[in-house]
């Protein structure tokens, strides 16, 4: 593991960075409850795999007199948008311990957020240099820094995080729907099969074309653990999906009625084997592909993958302005868990550094690709 490097100091506060997760971070994140009070809250039980992501990984720690107050992860990749080569930095697992966490007393309107971006808390001033030049995270930045986009997904009800992101110069570029797909008795489909290794190159070409109008499409970690599934028709791939296994411990389902109903139904052994809040097994669906005219095959594919893997709940995340979201919003039928929890909506917020205005506008006008591996 790389030795910690001190990037910034401010009185008794320091910012340190590492390029691999150490025991302190793993312990911190394992005990961190994600979500917000009054909303859906959960803990990762397999956090180590997610912390060791593909691409560049940096973990920044905020300390006061040597004691860790919080952490934030950056996943960096080299990307290209409309011919512009640039870095993209996804902010992950932002966690600040009390008493530095504050809850806004009211919802800030657009004018308030714009004013907030011109002001800054001590924490905001402390982190601002990194958000202004994320290449400082690297040990040896190579020459002039590439243009960069820093982005994050923030629950639209999480006013504290929205306001703080505005202080750091992030603006809204889109919205993401996060919703479940569940089947308590998933049906088997003989048409569902794992993608052979020799077909990966062809599958990737289909995905690149399918997501050609999206920003921030990344090919990794698609095909991880050989868990890409497809449906074929006349020998041609007409639907495909990558899955990642995750397990969460659910702290709060987000409302009193949902908590009561789930507590009641999970008292039934048959249901609890499928929906255990203490160890909820899910599939994160990623890199979805659908040949035009085969939209209904997606449901057969997702249900068939649940049956083959012995999991009963899947998670979907996609830009609400995308064609993919329109497919699902038309067909609905997401299962019993969705009827209880509904859809969670997050904002895609980004800061553009040394970006031409026309490329920034491209982000505002096109959907964002949301890799569930990075965000689950």
Q: Could you give the CA distance from residue 327 to residue 64 in angstroms, rounded to a whole number?
A: 49
Q: Specify the 3-state DSSP secondary structure of 190.
A: coil
Residue 105 has pLDDT above 50, yes or no: no
Exposed/middle/buried for 56, CB within 10 Å: 0-12, 13-18, 19+? middle
Contact 161, 362 (CB under 8 A): no
Query: Each residue of 158-202: pLDDT tens digit?
Result: 888 899 899 899 999 999 999 999 999 999 999 999 999 999 999
User: Sign (positive/negative) of CA torsion 130, 175, 210, 297?
Assistant: positive
5-175 and 179-345: same fold? yes
**pLDDT, mean of residues 222-241:** 96
Architecture of domain 179-345: 3-Layer(aba) Sandwich (3.40)
Query: Each residue of 356-368: pLDDT tens digit?
Result: 999 999 999 999 9
Contact 25, 72 (CB under 8 A): no
DSSP H or E run through 130: helix 122-132
Which residue's structure tokens are 């394992």? 30
Query: Each residue of 117-128: pLDDT tens digit?
Result: 445 566 677 778
Contact 228, 240 (CB under 8 A): yes
Q: What region, left, alpha or beta, does residue 310 occupy, with left being phi > 0 and alpha being psi -120 to 50 degrees?
A: left
User: Which residues are registered as beta bridge partners of 233?
Assistant: 236
* Residue 117 pLDDT: 47
43: Cα separation from own chain's centroid: 15
Q: Could you give the CA distance from residue 123 to residue 121 in angstroms, rounded to a whole number?
A: 5
**Domain map (residue ranges) of the chain:** 5-175, 179-345
Q: Could you give the CA distance from residue 221 to residue 243 in angstroms, rounded to a whole number?
A: 10
Which residue's structure tokens are 């290209």? 80
Q: Is the pTM of this model over 0.75?
A: yes
Q: Can you give 35-85 as a three-state secondary structure string?
A: ECCCCEEEEECCHHHHHCCCCEEEEEEEEECCEEEEEEEEEEEEEEECCEE
* Residue 186 pLDDT: 97
Q: Could you give the CA distance from residue 143 to residue 334 in angstroms, rounded to a whole number?
A: 49
* Residue 102 pLDDT: 47
Q: Which one has a higher pLDDT value, 258 or 24? A: 258
Bond prior to 234 in cis (omega within 30° of 0)? no
User: Which residues are registered as beta bridge partners of 17?
Assistant: 5, 60
Least Cα distance to 130 among 101, 96, 166, 169 occurs for 169
Residue 77 CB neighbours (<10 A): 18
Pick the CATH number of 5-175 from 2.40.50.140, 3.40.630.30, 3.40.50.2300, 2.40.160.20: 3.40.630.30
Contact 149, 89 (CB under 8 A): yes
* Residue 359 pLDDT: 94
Query: Each residue of 119-152: pLDDT tens digit?
Result: 556 667 777 888 888 888 887 766 566 899 999 9
* Residue 101 pLDDT: 45
State the Rg of the chain over Cα. 21
Q: CA of 274: how far to CAs of 138, 189, 244, in Å? A: 44, 20, 17
Exposed/middle/buried for 45, CB within 10 Å: 0-12, 13-18, 19+? middle
């Amino acid at each position: 593991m790389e030795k910690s490097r001190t990037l910034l100091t401010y009185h008794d506060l320091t910012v340190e960075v590492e390029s691999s997760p150490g025991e302190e971070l793993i312990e911190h994140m394992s005990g961190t409850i994600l979500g917000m009070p009054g909303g859906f809250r959960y803990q990762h039980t397999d956090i180590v795999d997610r912390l060791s992501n593909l691409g560049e990984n940096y973990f920044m720690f905020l300390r006061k007199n040597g004691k860790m107050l919080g952490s934030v992860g950056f996943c960096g990749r080299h990307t290209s948008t409309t011919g512009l080569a640039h870095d993209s930095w996804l902010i992950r697992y932002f966690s600040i311990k009390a008493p530095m966490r504050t809850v806004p007393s009211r919802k800030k309107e657009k004018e308030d957020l714009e004013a907030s971006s011109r002001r800054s808390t001590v924490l905001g001033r402390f982190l601002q240099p990194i958000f202004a030049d994320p290449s400082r995270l690297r040990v040896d930045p190579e020459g002039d820094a590439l243009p960069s986009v820093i982005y994050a997904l923030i629950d639209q009800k999480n006013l504290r995080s929205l306001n703080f992101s505005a202080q750091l110069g992030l603006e809204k570029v889109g919205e993401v729907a996060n919703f479940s797909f569940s089947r308590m008795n998933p049906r088997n489909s003989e048409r569902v099969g794992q993608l052979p290794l020799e077909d990966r190159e062809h599958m990737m070409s289909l995905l690149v074309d399918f997501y050609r109008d999206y920003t921030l499409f990344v090919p990794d970690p698609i095909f991880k653990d050989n868990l890409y599934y497809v449906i074929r028709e006349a020998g041609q791939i007409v639907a495909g999906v990558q899955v990642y296994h995750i397990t969460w411990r659910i702290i709060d389902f987000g409302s009193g009625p949902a908590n009561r109903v789930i507590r009641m139904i999970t008292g039934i052994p048959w249901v609890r084997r499928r929906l255990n809040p203490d160890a909820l097994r899910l599939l994160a669906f990623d890199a979805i592909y659908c040949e035009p005219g085969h939209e209904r095959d997606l449901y057969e594919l997702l249900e068939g993958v649940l049956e083959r893997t012995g999991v009963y709940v899947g998670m979907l995340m996609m830009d609400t302005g995308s064609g993919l979201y329109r497919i699902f919003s038309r067909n609905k039928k997401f299962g019993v868990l969705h009827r209880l929890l509904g859809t969670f909506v997050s904002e895609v917020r980004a800061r553009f550094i040394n970006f031409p205005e026309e490329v920034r506008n491209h982000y505002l006008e096109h959907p964002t690709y949301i890799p569930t591996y990075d965000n689950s």
